Amino acid sequence: MYVASVTVSDYMTNCYLAGCEETKEAMIVDPGGNFESIQKMIEHSGYKIKYIVCTHGHHDHILATKQIKDYTQAKVYIHEKERKCLQNSLFNGAVVFGVKHESCKEDGTLSDGDELEVGNLRFSVIHTPGHTKGGICLYTPGHLFSGDTLFYGTIGRTDFPGGNYKEIVHSIQEKLYQLPEETIVYPGHGNKTTIGHEKMYNAVVRLER
């Protein structure tokens, strides 16, 4: 699998391009702003974008969605509980933080267990509530895009509307920690890690055991 990333938004959000090396088909994960930077990443890759997937609806993960959709003609997907965030700045937090948001209509919604095919790759949708009600992760063997659920050494915030500390810990322990330990984790912010590393060293989750 081909993976490229660029840091976008004032909150250093990781926007990813994940593609099938055989077919040169790809998806964009979390276009949180800085359209020009994402555009350059796409152009440099040479891949055709099939999907734009938002792991959740906070503004720092969706702000460039409409621009990327217009540029690539890719289909936009988000969890069914987050759809209103794509269309309304009150729900995604842009109004609160004084950020301009361009409304975007999703092409489809995702639920736990759904799958997205990108070339010869198949990504499973894992619903991981806790940071938000409709937060998701995307898994293909060996790779996990964890959004704001699991970070290197810590977890996503739970003090925003829809957040719940017990839910996010449960999501990590019962879903993400069941994946193979060698799985590379690409988080919404910060450095990548592995499931095995987090099971061993993530003190936030370990304290709950």
Could you write out the DSSP letters of every residue in 126-191?
A: EE-TTSSTT-EEEEETTEEEEETTEETTEE----STT--HHHHHHHHHHTGGGS-TT-EEEESBS-
| Rounded CA separation 8/64 (Å) | 9
Q: Number of folded domains in the chain? A: 1
- What average pLDDT does the segment 30-37 reach? 95
149-175 pLDDT per residue, tens: 999 999 999 998 889 999 999 999 999
pLDDT number for residue 99: 72
Q: Domain with 98 in it: what CATH number?
A: 3.60.15.10
Domain that holds residue 34: 2-206
105-129 pLDDT per residue, tens: 999 999 999 999 999 999 999 999 9
